[in-house]
Structure 1
Amino acid sequence: MNRSPLVWLFLALVLGAYAVTIFVSDSEQTWWSILSGIFIAAASLVTLWRFNREVRKNRQP
């Protein structure tokens, strides 16, 4: 297996954890923190999709 899918998985996990900490730690939830949390969560989902695509590409003969 190529290392590239693991990099995408690691990036998705880091971004997802960062988005969760933004939503959990900010007590007053300003519009900027909500917007950045949504943006980072979306970026995490995109990198997770990219990980799945790379894994499928590496499995095909």
Structure 2
Amino acid sequence: MEVIKVHEAAREQAITIAILEFISMEQHDAVTQRMEDAAHGVLPNRSAQAKPMHSK
């Protein structure tokens, strides 16, 4: 069981690092916080969501 927990933590960290590579530094804290919230089942506040990075 402990091996599974370590594996899952490593996978989560790898995913986080990969995601953060593709967003601006200014958004890192907000994205990291949103990922933490999602991991704990907290739904996003639609009015507080960040604007899309790409707009037409």
Higher helix share: 1
Tell whether the structures are fold-level matches, with TM greater than 0.5: no
> Given the two structures, how large is their TM-score scaled by the length of structure 2?
0.44
> Given the two structures, how large is their TM-score scaled by the length of structure 1?
0.41
Tell me: higher relative CO, structure 1 or 2? Use CA pairs within 8 A at least 6 residues apart. Answer: 1
Structure number with greater Rg is 1
